[in-house]
Amino acid sequence: MPGFEGPVGEYIASVFGPLTQEQSVDALGNVISRLGSFGPRVLVCAHMDEIGMVVTDIEKDGCLRMARNGGVDPRILPGMEVKVLAKSGALYGVIGSTPPHLQAGSDPKKAIELKDLFIDLGFPPEAVRERVRVGDCVAMIAPMVELAGDRLAGKTMDDRAGVAVMLECARFLKGMNAPAQVFFTATTQEEVGVRGATTAGYSVDPDMAIAIDVTHGIGPGTGQFEAFPLDKVIITAGPNMHPLLLEKMKEAAKAHKVDVAVEVEPYPTGTDARAVQIARAGVPCALISVPLRYMHTTVETLSADTLREAGRLMAHFIDAVSREWGDLEWY
């Protein structure tokens, strides 16, 4: 969760370690893995934090009240299994609310609010107070599910799917000998204000950057121009993105037969790119997105093939741009 990414950061470092030459973890917990020793400095970033909750109070009966840590939609929470990350160890519980049969005078059509929900650990009140503290994090429990075809569903696809794209890119690049120094960065606290990307953009001091995130995938109820097919890699146009890098991304997609679509974003994007672009004296940025259905739920659904294609596109793009680096005219 935002601000508590340590364990997942350790795992990410372990899988990037064999593919890269040097690793570091900064003061905000960003995991930075460098591949390559010369050429332009390329920051590649995807955020590893997930939305969750935090304990705010313990009721007389031992049930827990909570607040959001990131963009949690209360409508998905009733009936969910969770674990409270207490200092003494994880405690498992369920999220409940007052049954509708007992909600006299309430509007049954009104969406449930976070204040109406609680976590039941099953322990007596005194045992809860011994184990749980206000401020303990609460994580949702939802195993990844393999659906038909190449579809995967689960929590935290936003944006650990982006971390998986980085891993695919690193695997491709390792065999390409691209003349670039690539800093694969799993960033922290994106869900609460792109904070990890803000510090990584400053400390890496890149010549250019690529952010990887998710965008909305076409599904029931989505409208025209606001969602994209799950089998396309999405590249973004708009003032947050450098126009030369957008054209180079299109060229790489055409040359290597990657099926892409363009998303237009006229404002700063809700991704790490918006922070990195204005780091230090400014950084030319590109953004690659993976279409995702049911964002910010425990059944975020995407295409595994699209993850691989996004990684392949990014590797060829970095290779091509780094080989042309001295001849590029930014404006």
- Report, as residue numbers or ranges, the catalytic residues: 190
Q: Give the torsion sign (CA, 159, 162, 167, 168).
A: positive
Asked if 66 and 138 touch (Cβ cutoff 8 Å), the reply is yes
Rounded CA gap, 174 and 227, in Å?
A: 33
Q: How far is CA 303 from the centre of its chain?
A: 16
Cβ-based neighbours of 253, under 8 Å, separated by 6 or more: 233, 235, 259, 260, 313
- Beta strand 151-154 with 208-216 is unpaired
C-alpha distances (whole Å) from 85 to each of 12, 98, 132 are 20, 25, 9
C-alpha distances (whole Å) from 259 to each of 234, 305, 312 are 9, 11, 11
Q: Torsions phi, psi of 73, nearest 5?
A: -90, 115
The 10 Å Cβ neighbour count of residue 215 is: 23
